[in-house]
A and B are shown apart, each in its own frame.
Chain A
Amino acid sequence: MFGKGLLQGLGITFKRMVGPNITEFYPEEKPNLPTRVRSSMGLERDKCISCNMCAMACPNSVIKLTSEKNEANKKVLKTYHMDVGRCLFCGLCTEACPTKALKVTQDFENAIFEAEDMHWDMIQRAERKRKVE
Chain B
Amino acid sequence: METLNYLLETLNNLFLIIADAIRGLFADPHSVWANLTMNVINFIIVVIIVVLAALILILLERKVAGWTSQRPGPNRLGPRGWFQTIADALKLMGKEDVTPAGADKFIFKIAPMIIFCLPMMTLAVIPYGKDMAPINIDLGILYFVAISSISTLCFLMAGWGSNNKYSLLGGMRAVAQMISYEIPLLFSLLGVVMITQSFNLGVIVEAQGTIPFIVLQPLAFVIFMIAGLAELNRAPFDLVEADQEVVAGPFTEYTGLRWGLFFLGEYGNMTAMSALAATVFLGGWQGPAILPGYVWFFMKVGVMIFMMMWVRWTFPRIRIDHLMHLAWKVLLPLSIVNILLTGLGIYIYRFVMGG
Contacts and interface: CB of A to CB of B under 8 A. Distances in A.
A9 B70 contact: no
Interface in A40-63: none
A65 B71 CA distance: 48
Interface stretch (A17-25, A30-38, A69-77, A103-111): A17-25
Candidate in B67, B72, B314 with the most chain A CB atoms within 10 angstroms: B314
A13 B71 contact: no
B68 A13 contact: yes
Contacts of A16: 67-70
A49 B244 CA distance: 65
B315 A9 contact: yes
A6 B71 contact: no
Candidate in A6, A22, A23 with the most chain B CB atoms within 10 angstroms: A23
A21 B310 contact: no
Nearest to A3: B222
B272 interface: no
Contacts of B72: 21, 23
B68 A21 contact: no
A22 B69 CA distance: 9
B contact patch SS: loop
Nearest to A10: B314
Interface residues of A, number: 15
Interface in B313-329: 313-315
Contact of A21 (B70, B311, B313, B314): B70
A69 B68 CA distance: 66
Contacts of B64: 17
17 contacts: A6-B315, A9-B314, A10-B310, A10-B311, A13-B68, A13-B314, A14-B310, A16-B67, A17-B67, A19-B70, A20-B70, A21-B66, A21-B67, A21-B71, A21-B72, A22-B71, A23-B70
Interface of A: 6, 9-10, 12-14, 16-23, 25
Per CB-CB distance, the 6 closest pairs between chain A and chain B, nearest first, are A17-B67, A13-B314, A13-B68, A22-B70, A9-B314, A23-B71
Interface of B: 64, 66-72, 75, 310-311, 313-315
